[in-house]
Structure 1
């Protein structure tokens, strides 16, 4: 069983003076991870949950790290071996993150290629700036203005497909339920960010530290807010205050994208 193989792998690392741990890992990681997708699907209660190779490796490495810790060792003692990202160690299950990571990566890739080949010049300009900022972790506010039917929703869909195909989290929201249905995995802004129905200049969102939604927002690479100018200004200010509160309490070394905000205005 994979659990027994992982225990054997740890025993070999600790007691057998392996000359090339990385080669041992690269040769056998697939055998060590045979149960990962099954376990994650069971936890998420989603039989269609899809994990990338990167995610599977991180889950396995996290399990190996836990076994090594039991004998007062760590993967860091073997400099050749990769070390898993911190959030793969979490004992609690964040169903919101699991849901956002559950998209079929191959399907997202195919949809992205289909859409990407049909972007016009203006759409491509916005696409390139947004994607570049996401991958550079610069942060930014991107305001895209255009009349109805000019292809804004098509652009949002293309960005969602691109980032989700690479295991990044995108939160597409809209001012109305009808508009939200046009976005892949879209929801209303009130639902996603728990915006109160009665708003004034002192309103705050119902997002509390330590909850699943907070962890989801921390791991989010891009928020798409369709029809944002149709929202009351107090709704946008509520979300802004919540994001500042959430990101003000995180480690900036881990989330460097929160350090700077750049503003971009596109119009066609």
Structure 2
């Protein structure tokens, strides 16, 4: 859903679309290297999408706001979560300008890097070479933790996994006037009511006051 929102906004921004495709491979091929690799063709590897790494197909435009997904040079402000704006798109590199923090206004060339997910259920080590960025007009609630924003729009199409997710999203905004919430009801219309998901089972075996 986050990707859909970001692509929708990207399409509304004027300018040429630059498409960058990743190079995907597997490292741990086991004893029977040929048979193992044939079971996971490149087309399958390209289809793998995870929140911790950029997608195989990365579409960008000059002027688009992006977020860095890896720590490149922390002392220079290139940290995981840094917001930047696209300034120039080249064949093998992109130029971005930092939008926040002590290095605001500084421009850097971002190269393609090798990214390996640390926690997966696959029987191989998946490797993707791609620019470590993603469009960040929308982001998941977990990724928003630690950020303070003047304007926050919370899109809530279905009940959150737990009530704490809603509180985390709301707490990102610095003032009440900057908070806007869109909630979808079961029939597809907008509503001002949502479920506060609490698992009551956790209270079943609590000791009584007498104990």
Identify the TM-score tier after normalising by the shorter chain.
under 0.3
TM-score, normalisation: structure 2: 0.23
Higher helix share goes to which structure? 1
Q: Which has the higher strand share?
A: 2
